[in-house]
Structure 1
Amino acid sequence: MENIKKAYIAGGCFWGMEELFRVRPGVKDTEVGYIGGENEHPTYRNHPGHAEGIEIVYDANETSFKELLDYFFRIHNPTTIDRQGNDRGSSYRSAIFIQNEEEQKTAEEVIAIVDKSNKWEAKVVTTLEPYSTFWPAEEEHQDYLVKRPNGYTCHSERFGSFL
């Protein structure tokens, strides 16, 4: 029996994050979009304050929020402020959009584990922000690296599990 939940994260360009998460065990669907910003109905050209984020639909019987965050911290650099690869600006910040107290506690726990591991050269700067409306990005950005297999990404698996 399925136990479907959603998680909202941002860690640089949403294309690369989506491509890696889409095939994770327990992940049922992904969608790229904008979250955490100032305007309604943001677009690629007009999303002040929004991060390029992804919505992850997952079966909590097959994977957990903690396991998703473990993977999140392995595929992007959570120690750089407003930057991933060649992308710079607050749109590319590392953020977890918290929906409840349990997610807050889990995020804090995983960040402490990542920091203690010393696998990254600096401490995690990922922000924990309250969930706000997730606005799906334009269709051309959905499944971008499926449509363009040689497209730009700065995401890759860098380490084994922190857990």
Structure 2
Amino acid sequence: MQEIIYFGGGCFWCTEAVFDRVQGVLDVESGYANGHVSQPSYEQVCEGTTGHAEVLKVSFDPAQIALHTLLEIFFGTHDPTTLNRQGNDVGTQYRSGIYTTSPEQQAQVQAWVQALNQDKVFGAPVVTEVLPLDNYWPAEDYHQDYFARNPHQGYCAYVVGPKVHKFLHTFAAYAKKGE
């Protein structure tokens, strides 16, 4: 059995590089979600006029990894307390968001965010948008597997690489063998 959920944690290159290394994740795809334009281009999304967030489509096997574990990794590898921003990436397209594909996912994610806020886990309110998936479009081919293909590119070396390192250090138990 396979489930799909969509994570927006800022730049999709970072999110993809992390979740591509998670046991039980079957496939990842960078894309754009929850905007109002059909088939948006990267340039359009970057202008901030389409309403889309950069997201990662995560296909996973719930028998191998639970949704709550994916949520733990997601919230542990980006800042869910900054509105429309991750580091130097600023704009609505970089918002923290989780886009669900079933009422059960929606309820579980909303309860998770509520518990994070109630327990003041981050010392500031979690602003992660939690909505059903709407209007998803895959990103252009050159965005797919970007970090794997361009590990020495500046952004990858200085932004994506440290996020991957943090994942491998903090969540080593969930990393695919050989990572």
TM-score (norm 2): 0.82
Q: Does 1:24 align with 2:22?
A: yes
After the TM superposition, list the runs of 4 or more consecutive aligned residues in structure 1 that deviate by more than 6 angstroms: none
Out of 72, 75, 78, which is 1:76 matched to? Answer: 78
Match in the other structure for 1:44:
42
**Which range moved further: 52-61 or 109-118?**
109-118
Q: Taking every aligned residue pair, what percent have the same amino acid on both sides?
A: 36
Runs of 5+ consecutive residues of structure 2 not aligned to the other structure? 172-179
Cα distance between partner residues in 2 of 1:23 and 1:117: 29
User: Contact 1:15–1:144 (CA<8 Å) still a contact in 2?
Assistant: yes
Out of 92, 109, 112, which is 1:110 matched to? Answer: 112
Alignment of 1:12-161 (within 5 A): 12-47=10-45, 48-151=50-153, 152=155, 153=159, 156=163, 157=166
137 and 112 in structure 1: CA distance in 2 versus 1, 3 angstrom threshold: same
**Which range moved further: 19-28 or 63-72?**
63-72
Runs of 5+ consecutive residues of structure 1 not aligned to the other structure? none
Match in the other structure for 2:5:
7
User: Contact 1:70–1:110 (CA<8 Å) still a contact in 2?
Assistant: no
Cα distance between partner residues in 2 of 1:51 and 1:28: 22
> Could you report, residue by residue, the CA deviation over 1:53-91 in whole angstroms, capped at 9, with x for unpaired residues?
000011111012221111100000000000001100000
Cα distance between partner residues in 2 of 1:112 and 1:132: 22
Cα distance between partner residues in 2 of 1:150 and 1:97: 31
User: Contact 2:7–2:56 (CA<8 Å) still a contact in 1?
Assistant: yes
Cα distance between partner residues in 1 of 2:94 and 2:78: 11
Q: Give the secondary-structure state (helix, strand or coil) at the position aligned to 2:21.
A: coil
**Which range moved further: 22-31 or 110-119?**
110-119
Q: Structure 2: which amino acid aligns with 1:97?
A: Y
User: Contact 2:35–2:135 (CA<8 Å) still a contact in 1?
Assistant: no
User: Contact 2:36–2:135 (CA<8 Å) still a contact in 1?
Assistant: no
Superposition deviation, residue 4 in structure 1? 1.0
Count of paired positions:
159
Superposition deviation, residue 145 in structure 1? 0.5
Name the structure where helix makes up a greater proportion of residues: 2
Q: Give the secondary-structure state (helix, strand or coil) at the position aligned to 1:63.
A: coil
Cα distance between partner residues in 1 of 2:69 and 2:152: 28
Cα distance between partner residues in 1 of 2:94 and 2:108: 22
> Could you report, residue by residue, the CA deviation over 1:8-56 in whole angstroms, capped at 9, with x for unpaired residues?
1101000000000001010011000100111001110113110000000
- Cα RMSD of the aligned pairs, angstroms, is 1.9
**Which range moved further: 64-73 or 13-22?**
64-73
